[in-house]
Structure 1
Amino acid sequence: MKQSEVLIVGAGPSGLVLALWLKAFGVGVRIVDAASGPGTTSRALAVQARTLELYRQLDLAQAVVDAGHPIEFFNLWAEGKHRARIPLGAIGAGLTPYPFFFIYPQDRHEQLLVERLAAAGLEVERSTTLAGFEERGDLVEARLVDGNGREEVCAARYLIGCDGAHSKVRNVMGVGFPGGTYRQVFYVADIEGDSPALNGELNIDLDEADLLAVFATAPQGRGRLVGTVRDDRAEQAETLQFSDVSQRAIDNLMISVRMVNWFSTYRVHHRVAEHFRRGRAFLVGDAGHIHSPAGGQGMNTGIGDAINLAWKLAAVLHKQAPEELLDSYEAERLPFAQRLVHTTDRAFSFLTADGPVAEIVRTGIVPRLMPLVGKLPAAREFLFRTISQTLVHYRTAPLNAGHAGKVHGGDRLPWVQFDGGDNFAPLPRLGWQVHVYGEVGAELATWCALHGVALRRYDWNEACAEAGLARDAVYLLRPDTYVGLAAGTPSVALLDDYLRANGLRL
Structure 2
Amino acid sequence: MRSDVLIVGAGPTGLVLALWLTRLGIKVHIVDKAAEPGTSSRALAVQARTLELYRQLDLTDAVIEGGHQIPAVNLWVKGERAARLPIEAIGADLTPYPFMQAFPQDRHERLLIDRLERLGITVQRQTELTGFSEQDGHVLARLRGPDGHEQNWEASYIAGCDGARSLVRETIGMGFPGGTYRQVFYVADVQAAGPSLDGELHIDLDEADFLAVFPLAGTGRARLIGTVRDERAEHAEDLKFEDVSERAIKHLKVQVDTVHWFSTYHVHHRVAEHFRMGRAFLLGDAAHIHSPAGGQGMNTGIGDAINLAWKFASVLTGCAPESLLDSYEAERIGFARRLVSTTDRVFSFVTAEGRIADIMRTRITPLLLPKVARVDVAREFLFRTVSQLTVSYRGGPLSQGSAGHVHGGDRLPWAVAGYEDNFGSLTLMNWQVHVYGTARQELVDCCKSLGLPLQVFDWQAEYEAAGLTQNVLYLLRPDTYIALIDPAGMWETLDRYFVSRQLKPLMPAH
The one-letter amino acid of 1:101's match is M
Indicate yes or no: 2:368 matched with 1:369.
yes
Aligned residues of 2:249 and 2:255 also touching (Cα < 8 A): yes
1:137 aligns with 2:152: no
State TM-score, norm by structure 2. 0.96
SS at match of 2:46: coil
CA contact (8 A) 1:130 1:142 kept: yes
* Counterparts of 1:350 and 1:397, CA distance in 2: 32
Q: How many residues align?
A: 505
Does the CA-based 8 Å contact 1:57-1:426 persist in structure 2?
no
Is this contact kept in 2: 1:184–1:229, CA < 8 A?
yes
Can you give the 5+ residue segments of structure 2 that lack an aligned partner in the other structure? Answer: 506-510
C-alpha distance in 2 between matches for 1:194 and 1:478: 47
The alpha-carbon deviation at position 428 of structure 1 amounts to 6.7
Q: What is the alpha-carbon distance in structure 2 between the residues aligned to residue 362 and residue 336 of structure 1? A: 27
**What is the identity, as a one-letter code, of the residue corresponding to 1:330?**
E
Q: Which moved more, 1:278-287 or 1:370-379?
A: 370-379
Deviation at 1:430, TM superposition (A): 1.4
Going from structure 1 to structure 2, the CA distance change for 1:254 and 1:488 (only over 3 Å counts) comes to closer
Does the 8 Å CA contact 1:199/1:219 hold for their aligned counterparts?
Answer: no
The reply on whether 1:84 has 2:118 as its aligned counterpart is no
Maintained 8 Å contact 2:57/2:427: no
Question: Which residue number corresponds to residue 174 of structure 1?
Answer: 173
Over residues 31-57 of structure 1, what are the superposed CA-to-partner deviations in whole Å (9 max), with x where a residue is unaligned?
001111111113211111110110011
Contact 1:11–1:32 (CA under 8 A) maintained in structure 2:
yes
Q: Secondary structure at the match of 2:92?
A: coil
Query: 1: CA distance between counterparts of 2:426 and 2:252?
Result: 48
SS class of match (1:91): helix
Structure 1 stretch displaced more, 122-131 or 93-102:
93-102
Quick one: which amino acid aligns to residue 391 of structure 2?
V
TM-score, normalization by structure 1: 0.97
Matched, 1:335 2:334: yes
Q: 1:106-125 residue pairs with structure 2 within 5 A?
A: 106-125=105-124
Other-structure match for 1:407: 406
Q: Secondary structure at the match of 2:91?
A: coil
Q: Which moved more, 1:207-216 or 1:299-308?
A: 207-216
Match of 2:150, as an amino acid?
Answer: E
SS in 1 for 2:198: coil
- Mark the CA change 1:374 to 1:405 in structure 2 (over 3 Å): closer, same or farther: closer
Q: Which amino acid aligns with 2:323?
A: E
CA distance in 2, matches of 1:365, 1:404: 40
Q: How does 1:24-423 map to 2 (within 5 A)?
A: 24-218=23-217, 220-423=219-422
Between the aligned partners of 1:248 and 1:406, the Cα distance in structure 2 is 46
Q: How far apart, CA to CA, are the structure 2 residues paired with 1:289 and 1:280?
A: 19
Residue 423 of structure 2 aligns with which residue?
424
Consecutive aligned runs of 4 or more in structure 1 exceeding 4 Å deviation? none
Change (3 A) 1:291 1:117: same
CA distance in 1, matches of 2:401, 2:106: 41
Q: Is the 8 A contact 2:290 2:297 kept in 1?
A: yes
What does the per-residue CA deviation read over 1:146-198, in whole Å, with 9 as the maximum and x for residues that have no partner?
A: 12211111100000000111101000011000001112122111111222212
The secondary structure found in structure 1 opposite 2:45 is coil
Partner deviation per Cα, 1:2-53 (whole Å, 9 max, x = no partner): 0000000000000000000001111011100111111111321111111011
- 1:281 corresponds to which letter in structure 2? A
Gap change, CA 1:141 and 1:163, over 3 Å in 2: same
Aligned with 2:446: secondary structure? Answer: helix
Gaps of 5+ in 1: none
The residue type paired with residue 416 of structure 1 is A
Equivalence map 1:424-463=2 (5 Å): 424-426=423-425, 429-463=428-462
Q: Which moved more, 1:399-408 or 1:340-349?
A: 399-408
Does the aligned pair in 2 maintain the 1:58–1:426 contact within 8 Å?
no
Question: What is the CA deviation profile of residues 418-448 of structure 1, one whole-angstrom value per residue up to 9, with x for unaligned ones?
Answer: 2223111145741110000111111111111
Q: Deviations over 1:111-143 (max 9, x none)?
A: 111111111111111111100000011110010
Identity %: 61
Contact 1:78-1:207 within 8 A present in 2 as well: yes
> Does the 8 A contact of 1:193 with 1:257 survive in 2?
yes
2:182 corresponds to which letter in structure 1?
R
For 2:252 and 2:469, how far apart are their aligned partners in 1? 51
For the residues of structure 2 that align with 1:59 and 1:183, how far apart are their CA atoms? Answer: 40
